[in-house]
Amino acid sequence: MKRILLAVMLMMAVSALAAPVFRTAAATDEDPAAAGRKAAEALKAALGGVEPQVVLMADCFEDKENKEKALAAVTAVFGRDKVCGGATYGMFTQAGALTEDAVGLLAIAGVGVSVAFEEKLGAANLTLEKDEVALTAALRSAGARLAKKLPKAGKGNLLIVISDAHSPKNQLLLDGIQSVVGKKLPVTGGSVNKNAGQNWIYHHGKAHTDAAVAILLSGDFKLAQAGRQAKDNDAVITTAKEGAAEAATKLGRKPIAVLAFDCAGRKGKLKNIGDELAAMQSALGKDVPLFGCYCAGEFGPADETDADKSMCYGRGWHVMVTALGAK
């Protein structure tokens, strides 16, 4: 009996790592439970029977009560243990951008996945202006604790971090993470909505503040990253296209998926929300699974002349693009 069980478990593991699968879905509805349910059911259909190892969720409902209803609807489909993510200012997929009363989902399968969660970062109500020393110590320590919860953290291909530590605090958290995983591990992700009462991290079916979640991906896939910053309408559109094109070009093959953690400030400068997505898709094509969300800080390559191009940073005003491809 034990042999049969072991064989089944091995087959499941091989199946899970057979080929990387990234699928996205999003839905909008004034009823947060309906939005969560629609998005989850659409994602399930897109997966076509493949069981995801993790589902990354972004929402843009107002108030914890509504966010929890959306979260519950998603976990009802995929299970509490597989869903993590956070509150954002909106999201986009290859199907379009949603900035009000919406849920966006990214399912990941076929790769190695480790998820770590850290609560009580110690950053709540502290500001860099008044509490720089305490804040720096707290976030660096929390980042290190978070990374140490990832088995073989330095061996992964990509680390996705979702944190309640907005720009410029996000760099302090990343400093702590990189003290454990090193500075060469590609990192992407974003900071959750920083508005009062809206800053929630999702993990195991619950909403937490002053927290962070990290998803380490490993396995048989390639990736390439690009970061671009901009602060006005035209530049936001131009840099989105440039960032997407650079990541896709560096990847050297058609992406199987693209992640784009984008700044809410950039979104605020857009005269037409869809223009930035259209610019990215002009470089990527419209058929590539794309998962993006608008954040209060982004992780990835910094678009700065003095930045080390081989490292990732925590920044604001950026779109951080990660193109993923088969090996």
Partner 1 sequence: MIKTLLPALALASATLVNAQVHVRANNFTVNPSTGPVTHVTVRNSGRQSVSGVLRAQFPDGWKVSPTERSIELKPGETKQLPFAIEKGADVSANSYPVRIQFGTLDVTQRVVCASAPYFKPTIDGDLAEWKDSIPISFAKTVVRTYWSSKQFSLAVEVEEDKLTGKRGVEFSLAASDEGKRYGFVVGADGKCEGVTAVVKRDGNVTRYEIGVPFKLMPELKPDAGREFLFSLVVHDPDGIGPRDIGAVMNPLPGQRQFEFGFCSSIH
Q: How far is CA 124 from the centre of its chain?
A: 21
Specify the residue, 87 or 181, whose C-beta has the smaller distance to partner 1. 87
- The answer to whether 234 contacts partner 1 (rule: CB under 8 A) is no
Helix or strand (DSSP H, E) at 25: strand 21-28
Name the residue with tokens 């439970």: 33
Specify the residue, 77 or 273, whose C-beta has the smaller distance to partner 1. 273
Question: Shortest gap between Cβ of 163 and partner 1 (angstroms)?
Answer: 15
Specify the residue, 159 or 264, whose C-beta has the smaller distance to partner 1. 264
Q: What angle do CA 62, 86, 90 make, to 5 degrees?
A: 55
Radius of gyration of the chain (CA): 18
Total number of residues that touch partner 1 (CB under 8 A): 27
Specify the residue, 252 or 268, whose C-beta has the smaller distance to partner 1. 268
- The answer to whether 316 contacts partner 1 (rule: CB under 8 A) is yes
Q: Which residues pair with 6 in a beta bridge?
A: none
Minimal CA–CA distance to 312: which of 297, 302, 323, 324? 302
Whats the size of the chain, residue-wise?
327
Please list every residue from 282 through 311 that binds partner 1, using CB under 8 A: 296
- The answer to whether 193 contacts partner 1 (rule: CB under 8 A) is yes
Please list every residue from 22 through 61 that binds partner 1, using CB under 8 A: none
Q: Which of 15, 132, 154, 195 binds partner 1 (CB under 8 A)?
A: 195
Question: Shortest gap between Cβ of 50 and partner 1 (angstroms)?
Answer: 36
Using DSSP, state whether 12 is helix, strand or coil.
helix
Query: Of 47-55, 76-84, 196-204, 245-253, which part binds partner 1 (CB under 8 A)?
Result: 196-204
Q: What angle do CA 270, 271, 274 make, to 5 degrees?
A: 70
Question: Shortest gap between Cβ of 275 and partner 1 (angstroms)?
Answer: 15
Q: Is the dihedral of CA 92, 98, 99, 101 positive or negative?
A: negative
Question: Shortest gap between Cβ of 126 and partner 1 (angstroms)?
Answer: 8
The DSSP letter of residue 52 is P
- Hey, what are 254's tokens? 């058609």
Neighbours of 34 (CB within 10 A): 17
- The answer to whether 100 contacts partner 1 (rule: CB under 8 A) is yes
Q: Which of 231, 275, 307, 311 binds partner 1 (CB under 8 A)?
A: 231
Question: Shortest gap between Cβ of 31 and partner 1 (angstroms)?
Answer: 16
* Close Cβ partners of 11 (under 8 Å, ≥ 6 residues apart): none
Question: Shortest gap between Cβ of 60 and partner 1 (angstroms)?
Answer: 10
Residues that bind partner 1 (CB under 8 A): 62, 89, 99-100, 125, 127-129, 166-167, 193-198, 231-232, 264-269, 296, 316-317
